[in-house]
Amino acid sequence: MDIIDGLVGEHAVLLTLIDQIEQLSLHTPNLDELKRAVSLFGVPLRQHADIEDNVLFPAVDTQLDLAISCHQEHREIHAINRQFQRCASLVEGRTLLLEALARERKHFLREETELFPLIRKVLKKEQLDSLGRIWAQKRKIQLTALTEDNGPLAPF
Ligand SMILES: [Fe+2]
Ligand SMILES: [Fe+2]
């Protein structure tokens, strides 16, 4: 398992949370409730972006402008989320939040379809695996136990 496998897996979970936040934003009349939910969601979202910004992108940003552009998108999304947290009106807050969620979906898709495939071409498998071990350490996952050859998988 390499770092891109890990990051794409995180996208799947984050996208589920984005769907949930979007539904809440459309139905709740309570701005504070929405802010609390977005604040909780912001924790794994920032951790994910931090791993990309500090572990993956530095390995390729001298070769790939797209990595720099994705880093910039992180900053823009965080800025909209900060603006949302300062907002006092539900209508304005909902507009800002829906803008942030749309950008997050688009950003994940751009990484999955453009940036990550390019990174797989630029970096060697050993580099991707090595970065995957750093990702696992940061996520407190015992990757070695998962990748040891324990024989054929048992059927379900
Ligand atoms: Fe990202
Ligand atoms: Fe990502």
SS3 readout for the chain: CCHHHHHHHHHHHHHHHHHHHHHHHHHCCCHHHHHHHHHHHHHHHHHHHHHHHHHHHHHCCCCCHHHHHHHHHHHHHHHHHHHHHHCCCHHHHHHHHHHHHHHHHHHHHHHHHHHHHHHHHHCCHHHHHHHHHHHHHHCCCCHHHHHCCCCCCCCC
**Considering every ligand atom, which ligand is closest to the CA of 14?**
2
Please report the pLDDT score of residue 61 as a whole number. Answer: 85
Q: Which residues of the chain have pLDDT under 50?
A: none
**pLDDT tens per residue across span 48-85:** 999 999 999 999 989 999 999 999 999 999 999 999 99
Q: 66 C-alpha vs ligand 1 centroid, how far in Å?
A: 11
Q: 154 C-alpha vs ligand 2 centroid, how far in Å?
A: 32
Please report the pLDDT score of residue 111 as a whole number. Answer: 98
Question: What superfamily would CATH give domain 3-140?
Answer: nmb1532 protein domain like (1.20.120.520)
Q: What is the pTM of this model?
A: 0.91
Q: 145 C-alpha vs ligand 2 centroid, how far in Å?
A: 25
Please report the pLDDT score of residue 143 as a whole number. Answer: 80
Please report the pLDDT score of residue 147 as a whole number. Answer: 67
What per-residue string of b and e applies to 121-135 under the rule 16 or more CB within 10 Å gives b?
eebeeeebbebbbeb
Domain ranges of the chain: 3-140
CA–CA distance, 47 with 36 (Å, rounded to integer): 18
Please report the pLDDT score of residue 80 as a whole number. Answer: 97
Cβ-in-10-Å burial (0-12, 13-18, 19+) of 143 comes to middle
Q: 108 C-alpha vs ligand 1 centroid, how far in Å?
A: 6
Q: 5 C-alpha vs ligand 2 centroid, how far in Å?
A: 11
